Structure 1
């Protein structure tokens, strides 16, 4: 069970993802989380650096969809000015939002990347469907909701302890 929480790639931020390499490997779509993956959970808009990253993603030929467990108002205020499609109130790690995003992009799991900051929602959800999963370091843990802080992060710590004991999680720093 805990093996399903292991991402294919760990990086510090989305800016550390080698987009060219993923494209060369045949990936054509990116499903990304919003809060603490792209911006802090309380940041209403994209940073200028993130706007440039979105532009680069699209220039390379990727489709991009934000899949967030957050509410419509939060996700739409962030995504709409950037002309990025989104799925709100996703209930990750349920398969449904990931399948919906792939359908919106007209892509299959072998062509789709999932980027997120949580093992229990983004990585587990993506791995269950065979997507390429990328775990980023959370941007601002102090801004997270109570459920994420008290439940998800605690379960992640337990999972990491077990994965380390099994030799399945190495302590090297994420790629940057």
Structure 2
């Protein structure tokens, strides 16, 4: 069970992701979470450095897609701002939206990474399909009440992963 909850990488934020290293691992596409990964939860604020990172992803030749549990209206607006296709109301960790993203990008699971801030949605969903998973710390403390509750369990899981040597 631990292997489904363990990210392949754990970094501070999206800016710490080594795009060259991903390319060397055969990764050709990046599936991104929205809330607290690219923008603060329930917010329309797009930070310039996030737009710059997405531009770097595109310039490096990666295909990209957003997969989020967010609502379509807000998500669609942000998808347009980023210039990235997206799937909303994804019900992560279900695999369906991840599969749609892979199909849209024309990639196999071994050729894609998923980047997100939650173990039980982004990492679990990505690992269930065999994607390269990258966990980032949430960019803001403001979140959905259910997420706040799950974070307590998530902290215990991350602690357990570190103790067992699965996570550095």
In structure 2, the partner of 1:130 is 130
In structure 1, the partner of 2:68 is 68
Question: Is there any run of 5+ residues in structure 2 with no aligned partner, and where?
Answer: none
Does residue 4 of structure 1 match 2:26? no
Distance 1:165 1:10, change over 3 A: closer
Distance 2:132 2:99 in 1: 14
In structure 2, the partner of 1:153 is 151
SS at match of 2:26: coil
Distance 2:162 2:53 in 1: 33
Question: Is there any run of 5+ residues in structure 1 with no aligned partner, and where?
Answer: 171-176
Q: How does 1:100-111 map to 2 (within 5 A)?
A: 100-111=100-111
- Does the 8 A contact of 1:3 with 1:163 survive in 2? no
Distance 1:5 1:158 in 2: 12
Deviations 1:131-173 (CA, angstroms, capped at 9, x unpaired)? 00000011112x11011111x2122133234334434344xxx
Distance 1:53 1:100 in 2: 23
- How far the C-alpha of 1:77 sits from its partner, in A, is 1.4
Q: TM-score, normalised by structure 2?
A: 0.94
SS at match of 2:45: coil
Distance 2:40 2:81 in 1: 18
- How far the C-alpha of 1:43 sits from its partner, in A, is 2.8
Does residue 43 of structure 1 match 2:43? yes
Q: TM-score, normalised by structure 1?
A: 0.90
Distance 2:111 2:126 in 1: 12
- Aligned-CA RMSD value: 1.4
Distance 2:160 2:12 in 1: 22
In structure 2, the partner of 1:16 is 16
In structure 2, the partner of 1:144 is 143
Deviations 1:95-138 (CA, angstroms, capped at 9, x unpaired)? 10110100010100010000000000001110111100000011
Distance 2:50 2:76 in 1: 16
